[in-house]
Structure 1
């Protein structure tokens, strides 16, 4: 939907439909997925932005960790989220100082292995915090500019 005229009466009256601003991301915005770790008090303990360099059918096939302005903004503006626990995955479109948050999910995203490889040991922190009662310190020593490539591989099994 690009204009108000594209909205039907049924769409406008449906309470389940949420509307947001249309953002034309064609070659203008950089897309990021950020893995955020929140402790049991809703305090941010780690944030690792991953630039989505290549995407195939909605899944990132090439990504890189980035310590940039988005990282600084998140540390400042999202240091506490009431009710947030564990891994939260959020997506952003960025262009200069313009940042659009487009999605937030209470789960590990598909590109989380890059965050883990960069040093964001969220599963270990969950175990330490919830099974051993440890306090998790703020962690920002993750590896910047680490690139991950994903690919599909064929596996053949000869059944007897």
Structure 2
């Protein structure tokens, strides 16, 4: 793989199978994702909602035509920071065949530039505390742990 030939684009529905596979292909993802064929209808509906929202971009990194990395970039307006926009990165994954080769770094750098181009004043992300290597990865890219994040999981059917 030549990193100079890596391309980035918005995902299309035909990428969804590969994306769900990447999301489920790690220790934590195996616990919360369900990669089956056919894909669960919930993945398809989520993709359609993401695709329809102009402030959410599901981005894939491609080696030739193959999706080898993914992230979701969400731009949100806030009243804070004088009505500024900020971007959030979620669901970052690299295909196991391409991990450790720089794909993730280029994908995050691409997302930072994209958020800047969209007028965002800040980009943020969370990473699971069970992933110390991910925390180190994001720090190397300039992210700082300035806040303590909290989550509340809601019951669903």
Task: Bin the TM-score by the shorter chain.
Answer: under 0.3
TM-score (normalizing by structure 2): 0.24
Which has more helix, going by share of residues?
Answer: 2
Q: Which has the larger radius of gyration?
A: 1
Greater RCO, 1 or 2 (C-alpha within 8 Å, sep 6+): 1
TM-score (normalizing by structure 1): 0.24
Which has more strand, going by share of residues?
Answer: 1
